[in-house]
Structure 1
Amino acid sequence: MEDAVETLLSLTSNASAIDMAKKAKLATAERAIPKMKKYLLRTGITQEDLNRLSVIHVSGTKGKGSTCAFSERILSCHGYTTGLFTSPHLLEVRERIRINGRPISKELFSEHFWDLYTKLKETEIPSRAGEGYDMPFFFNFLTVMSVHVFLKEEVDVAIMEVGIGGQYDSTNLFERPVVCGVTALGLDHTNILGSSIEEIAWNKAGIFKVGQSLGKRDRPAIVVPQDPKAMQVILDRAREIQSPLFVSENLSMRELNRLNIRLGIDCDQQAQNACLAVQLTDFWMEFRKTGLSTCVWHGRTQTIKRERTTYYVDGAHTKESLEACTKWFKQKADEEKRSHGGSVVRILIFNTTGDRDVELFLSLLKPCNFDVALFCTNQLSTVESLTKSGTLRNRLSKEVDQYHNLSTWKKMMDKAMTNKRLWDQVSLASTSPSCSSTSSVDPITNTTITDPELGRDLPGGVISESSADGPATITDPKLGQYISGEVISKSVSDSTTSAITNPKLCPANSVEVSPGESSHPDTVTDTSIRASGAEHIPSSLAFPCILHALAWATQGRDPKIRVKDHRGVGLPEAPARLREAGHVQILITGSLHLVGGALEALTPDMNQ
C-alpha cells in the first residue's frame, strides 16, 4: 500500500492539474473526456464495459458528497451492493473508492493500482500525450481505478461524485447513467468554471444525458431548487441535451422530524441533500427511509463528544456551506451550552486552501462568539517539516497522504498567518473607533500587545524586517527555510512596554525560539482585544500544525491529543478561564484537508 501511494503521488498532482486547467483553452478541456476513455481502453475497459455499470452521477457546488453518501446508505440498506467514488479523502486515499460504504482494503487498493499503473506505463507514448497516451493525472488515475474496482466487484450501483465542474470532469465518461443529480450551486473554482452563477450552472449541467424516450423518466436529471439565473441555464441545457429534468421536492428538517426521519449527517442543509438522494434512489427502487438514519459521512457536520470537550467538525469551504455550518454549529453548540451547568469556552480552529474569500468566511463565523480563534496549517505534526524538507507529501505516516504535494509548509504557515490577520481585522471592525489597532489588552490575561522593533537577533534565528504585505519572517539557519512569525511584547506597566529579546523571558503570548533547538516557532499569537464598552473580541493564535492547535485547545482533556514531537519549546500558557472551564466546544472548519488531519488525531481508527 505504501509503495502504491508513493507512486500515485508521483503523478501530476491535483494542484498542478488545477493550475493547468486555469490556463487551458477550450479545445484542451474538450479533449478531457476522450483522453479518459483512451486511458480506460489502455487498461482493458471498453465503452461496452462502462455501460455495464449502473451509475448515479452527482454534480454541484456543495452537498454533492453528502448526497452521494445518503444515496449509498439508502441502497445499501436495501440489499444492493454499492460502489461509491468521492473526493477528496480525509485520511487515506483509499477512502475515495468504497464498496458497501467502506473504503476498499489496502490489499485491494494495491492490487488494482499496480495492475493499472503497469498497463498504462507499458502503453505510454509521450509524443501522443494529447491523444491520451500519457500517464493520467492523480484524479484521473483514481477515476479509472474506481471503474475497474466497481466492475470487478460487480456492484449493483456505482455512485459517482463529480470532482470539479461537470462538463469536462473526468467522471463524465458514462454515456448511460441511470440518473443524474445537481446539488446547490454557488461560486467556487471560478477561475476554472467561470465567474458567474450562469457559467457554473452550464458546467455542472454538463453531466446530463439524452433520455431514451423524450418526456419519460429515462436517464433524467434531478436538481434542487436553484437561483433563478442558474435554474434558467439548467433548463436550457436540459433542452439542448434532451434530458428529462425534474426539480427535487424539499422537506425541512422540521418536516423530516415530524415524519420521524432522523438524518445521520446533522445540519438543516442536509435535509435538502437527503431529499435529493431519496429522489435519485427512487429510480432504483420503491423509496423507504431506512438508509437515512444510518448514514455516516465523516467530516461533514460531524460531532465527536469526549470528556469535557465536544468537537464540531465540518469541511465547509464555500460561502453557502460556511453559512450552513455556522447555523448548524450555533444551534447545536447553544443547545449543549444550556445543558452544562459550568462555564463553557468556545474555540474555532480554521484554515482554508486555494483562492477563497477568507475575510468573507471569517465574517460568517464571527457570530458564533468564539472565545479564541486558532489558525494553523493543514499539517498534522511539525515533524515532517523539520525532517523531510517541509513538503506535505512527505507524511509522518505514509498512509496519510491527503495533501499530495499541494504546497510547501512555509506557504501554509504564511496562509495561516494571513488568516489570523484577517480574523483580527474582522474583530477590530466590531470595536469602538477609539480602540487602537497596534496595542491591545487581553481581557483574560491583561497582557498588552504591541508591534516591537524588527531586525533584532534572536538565538537560533534572525527576525527580518516586515514588508507592507507580509509579517516578519524567522530564518532558520539549520534548516535553510523561512518560517513566518511575529514578535509581540509584554506589558511592563500600564503605560510602557518592552520588546522581547530573550526567549527565556517570553510570555505565553509570543514566538518562542529555544537555544540549541531548531528555531521552529511553535506558536504565533495575538491576544484578544476589548475596548471600553465594546463587545468581546476573540483572541487569535497561529500554530504550525494541527496537533499543536488541538493540544492548546483541549488542555489535556482528551487523552488522544498528545504533542509527541515536542522539542522543549512550550505551547503558550492558556488563560485560567480555558484551563478551568467546565466544557470546551471546538469547531474545526474551512478545509477538508484540515478536517482530515484533525480526524486522524481524533479518530485514528476511522477506516478500520
Structure 2
Amino acid sequence: MTYQQALDYIHAVHWQGHRPGLERIRTLCGLLGDPQKDLRFVHVAGTNGKGSTAAMLDSCLRQAGYKVGLFTSPYILRFNERIQVDGAPIPDQDLVDLVEQVQPAAAAMAAVPTEFELITALGLLYFARTRCDIVVLEVGLGGALDSTNVIDPPECAVITALGMDHVRELGPTLADIAAAKAGIIKPGSPVVSYGGQPEADRVIAAAAAARGAPLTVVDFSRLHPVSASLEGQTFDFDGLDGLSLPLLGSYQPNNAAVAITALRALRARGWDIPDSAIRQGLARVRWPGRFELLRHDPPFILDGSHNAHGMRATADSLRRQFPGQKFVFITSIMADKDSDEMLRLLLPLARSFVTVTAPSPRAIPAQELAGRICALGGQARAAGSIPQAVALADALAAGGPVAALGTLYFSGEVRRAVCPGSGTK
C-alpha cells in the first residue's frame, strides 16, 4: 500500500447513512486490542478555541518533559498533522502500516466505520505504539457521541468556549450543545470549563455533579492583558505574570487561561508540571491558521474562524491589531453556517470582499456568496481559484491589509498562494 492509497482508503467513507454513536468505534478498537486503554488523556471539547487550547496543553506538557500525543482536526497542509507525537506529525510509512492494520479489522465489522472513526483508531494505535505518556485528544464534533469518547475517564476533561454551531447535529439551543459537550465528563475526572454562558454552565455543572467529577470554571477576573502587537502578546494570569504568547488573536489569552487551569488540575493529580514549563510552553506554542500573520508588509492575516461566535472574536482582534483600518477579505463559508451573521460582523471592517469556493462539498459557491455580500450592502467579486483570489485581493488592497477567513478548509491553499514553498498536500 502506498501513502496515497492509505489516504484514499481513509477518505472513502463519510457520515452519510451512519447513525451517530459509539458502537462502531468500540467494536473497531476492540478488534485492534483497545489501544486507548494503555493511554492517559486530556479530552478537549468546545465550539471555539479547542484546537488552540489543545496546542497549548501539548506544548506545555512537552516542556514538562512528557512524551505527548496530539490529536486534532482538520489539517492545514498535510493529513499527517492530525496525529502528532512530541510536535512531529506521524511519518508517512507509519500511517501506511497502521492503515494496513486497521483495514482488515474494519472490513470484519457489520457496520462500516466512518472516516473520523478510522482516523481516531489510527491515532490511538499510533499513540499506544509510540508509548505516549499522555495524549491531548480533541473532540471532532459534539462530545457524547464523538468517536474520541471511546476513552475511559481522562486525566482531565476540558470544555472551551461554547456557541451556536452544528445545531443540526447537536440541537437547536445552547443547552443542547452544552449537553453534547458535557458528554466527555466521566466519573471522578476533573473538569475545566470556560464558562460565561449561564444556560450552558448549568448543564455542565449538573453533568459534573451527577458523575462525581470536580468542576473548575476558569476565573477570567484573574486574567490581565499587558501588551499586544503583531509579534505576540503578554498577559498575567492567576499568579503567573509576564506570560508570553506568540498567537495573535485577542481571544488567545483566554484560551491560555483555560489551558493553565487544566494543567493545574493535572498537577493536582500528580503530574509534574512546574510553572516554568507552562511559561516556556506558552511562549513556544505554534498553531497555524488561527489569526496568523502570513506576511508583514503589506499585512496578510489567515484565520480559521468558521462560525458567528468565532467570527465575532476575529473581528475584535482585527480592530485591536489594526485600529481604524479597512480590509479586503478573502472569504469562503460553508453552507451549513450562519453566513449572513458572519458577514454582518465583517462588513464594518471591509473595504471589499473577494469570494472563493473552498475545497469542500459544503462550501457556498463563490458567485452565490458574492451575491449575498452585495445584498447585505457590501462590495464583492468572485474568484475562480484561491491563487486568483489572493492576487485580486492584493490588487484591491493596494498596500492595505488583507485577511482570509471563514473556513479552515482553504487555509492550506491560501498559505501556499501567499507563501510559495510552505508545504504540499
Q: TM-score, normalised by structure 1?
A: 0.63
Per-residue CA distance 1:546-582 (angstroms, 9 max, x = gap): 1110122234xxxxxxxxxxxxxxxxxx6xxx5xx3x
- Indicate if the aligned counterparts of 2:294 and 2:415 stay in contact, CA closer than 8 A: no
Q: State the shift of 1:357 in Å.
A: 1.2
**For each residue in 1:379-402, what CA deviation from the matched residue of structure 2 results, as whole angstroms up to 9, or x when unmatched?**
4xxxxxxxxxxxxxxxxxxxxxxx
Partner of 2:119: 142
Relative to structure 1, the CA distance from residue 606 to residue 291 in structure 2 (aligned partners, 3 Å threshold; closer, same or farther) is farther
1:247 aligns with 2:212: no
The aligned residue for residue 356 of structure 2 is: 376
The structural deviation recorded for 1:110 is 1.7
State the AA in 1 paired with 2:235. Answer: N
C-alpha deviations, 1:181-228, integer Å up to 9, x for none?
0001111000110000011111100100101xxxxxxx2011012311
Aligned length: 402
Distance 1:37 1:607 in 2: 34
1:77 aligns to what? 63
Q: Is the 8 A contact 1:90 1:592 kept in 2?
A: yes
- Unaligned stretches of 5+ residues in structure 1: 22-27, 212-218, 338-344, 380-402, 428-537, 556-573
The share of aligned pairs that are identical, in percent, is 26
Pairing 1:387-402 to 2, within 5 Å after superposition: none
Q: Which runs of 5+ in 2 are unaligned?
A: 228-233
- Deviation per CA, 1:366-424: give whole Å up to 9, x if none: 121x2221001114xxxxxxxxxxxxxxxxxxxxxxx4xx35xxxx5x63222212211
Q: Which amino acid aligns with 2:147?
A: S
User: In 2, are the aligned partners of 1:181 and 1:223 still within 8 Å (CA)?
Assistant: yes
Q: Does the CA contact (< 8 Å) of 2:244 and 2:283 recur in 1?
A: yes
Aligned to 2:206: 236
- The equivalent residue for 1:273 is 255
Runs of 4 or more above 6 Å deviation: none
> What residue number does 2:295 align with?
305
Contact 1:543 1:549 in 2 (8 A): yes
| Higher gyration radius (CA) | 1
Q: Work out which of the residue numbers 116, 119, 144 in structure 2 matches 1:167.
A: 144
Contact 1:329/1:587 (8 A) holds in 2: no
Q: CA deviation at 1:20?
A: 4.4
| Separation in structure 2 between the aligned mates of residue 322 and residue 550 of structure 1, nearest angstrom | 20
Quote the Cα distance in structure 2 between the aligned partners of 1:102 and 1:202. 34
Specify the alignment match of 2:154 in structure 1. Answer: 177
- 1:539 offset after TM fit, Å? 3.1
Give the aligned residue type for 1:296. Answer: R
**Secondary structure of the structure 1 residue equivalent to 2:148:** coil
- Any idea what SS the aligned residue of 1:584 has? coil
1:330 aligns with 2:319: yes
1 CA distance for matches of 2:190 and 2:352?
48
Task: Write the distance in 2 (CA, Å) between the matches of 1:227 and 1:274.
Answer: 19
Q: Which amino acid aligns with 2:391?
A: A
Match of 1:355 in 2: 336
Tell me the distance in 1 between the aligned counterparts of 2:53 and 2:424. 20
SS in 2 for 1:172: helix
The Cα shift of 1:601 comes to 2.9
Partner of 2:283: 293
Q: Does 1:542 align with 2:382?
A: yes
CA contact (8 A) 2:354 2:380 kept: yes
Letter in 1 for 2:335: G
- Work out the CA distance in 2 between the residues paired with 1:606 and 1:327: 30
User: Aligned partner of 1:286: which letter?
Assistant: P
Provide the secondary structure at the position in 2 that maps to 1:167: coil
Following the alignment from structure 2 to structure 1, what is the Cα–Cα distance between the partners of residues 58 and 304?
Answer: 20
Shift of 1:305: 1.7
Whether 1:111 aligns to 2:97 is yes
Secondary structure at the counterpart of residue 299 of structure 2? strand
2:195 counterpart of 1:225: yes
Deviation at 1:230, TM superposition (A): 0.8
Give the distance between the partners of 1:198 and 1:422, measured in 2 at CA: 30
Partner amino acid, structure 2, of 1:328: S
**CA-to-aligned-CA distance 1:432-480 (integer Å, 9 cap, x gap):** xxxxxxxxxxxxxxxxxxxxxxxxxxxxxxxxxxxxxxxxxxxxxxxxx
Q: Which residue of 2 aligns with 1:441?
A: none
User: Partners of 1:77 and 1:607 in 2: how far apart?
Assistant: 29
Q: Hey, what's the Cα distance between the residues in 2 that align with 1:602 and 1:8?
A: 29
Q: CA separation in 1, counterparts of 2:171 and 2:314?
A: 25
Q: Are 1:278 and 1:287, in contact at CA under 8 Å, matched by a contact in 2? A: no
CA distance in 2, matches of 1:584, 1:264: 23
Give deviations 1:514-560, integer Å, cap 9, x for gaps: xxxxxxxxxxxxxxxxxxxxxxxx531001221110122234xxxxx
Q: Which residue of 1 aligns with 2:348?
A: 367
